[in-house]
Amino acid sequence: AQKVTQAQTEISVVEKEDVTLDCVYETRDTTYYLFWYKQPPSGELVFLIRRNSFDEQNEISGRYSWNFQKSTSSFNFTITASQVVDSAVYFCALSEPMEYGNKLVFGAGTILRVKS
């Protein structure tokens, strides 16, 4: 079965520091998708990004960037110049086939605390 490991349980940084959240995955699928979700203190999960297994280009969106390395089965997330509003739980997830369709397999999440 698929597995997602987020080894960092909690990270604390001071505002304006850069921070990288690690994600390592295991899968036997040749085609798969990886996702990052953000869970702010309000509780809902917010979709951030999706990446397919054939596209190893890094992606940048404002202060957010993602580094996908198939050779090391990693999909790491970097926040540049962190802000207090970035404080949240961040989940990495991997698509897994089910009997009907696909589901998301989530890592345990990383709590990010950004202090002013």
Partner 1 sequence: NAGVTQTPKFRVLKTGQSMTLLCAQDMNHEYMYWYRQDPGMGLRLIHYSVGEGTTAKGEVPDGYNVSRLKKQNFLLGLESAAPSQTSVYFCASSYSGRKNTEAFFGQGTRLTVV
CB of 101 to partner 1, least distance (A): 2
Q: State the Cα–Cα distance between residues 41 and 114, nearest whole angstrom.
A: 13
Q: Which amino acid is at 16?
A: K
Is residue 47 involved in binding partner 1 (CB under 8 A)? yes
Q: Does 41 bind partner 1 (CB under 8 A)?
A: no
Query: Which value, to the nearest 10 degrees, does the dihedral of the CA atoms of residues 106, 72, 78, 23 take?
Result: 20
- Residues 22 and 9: their CA atoms lie apart, in Å, by 10
Give dist(CA 108, CA 38) in Å, integer: 12
According to the binding rule CB under 8 A, does residue 100 interact with partner 1? Answer: yes
Tell me how many residues contact partner 1 (CB under 8 A).
Answer: 29
Q: Smallest Cα–Cα separation from 68: which of 89, 86, 94, 45?
A: 94
Instruction: Give me the 59-88 binding string for partner 1, x by CB under 8 A, dash otherwise.
Output: ------------------------------
State the nearest-atom distance from the C-beta of 48 to partner 1, in Å: 9
Give the shortest CB-27-to-partner 1 separation in angstroms: 11
Binding residues for partner 1 (CB under 8 A): 4, 9, 31-33, 35, 37, 42-47, 50, 52, 91, 95, 97-104, 106-109
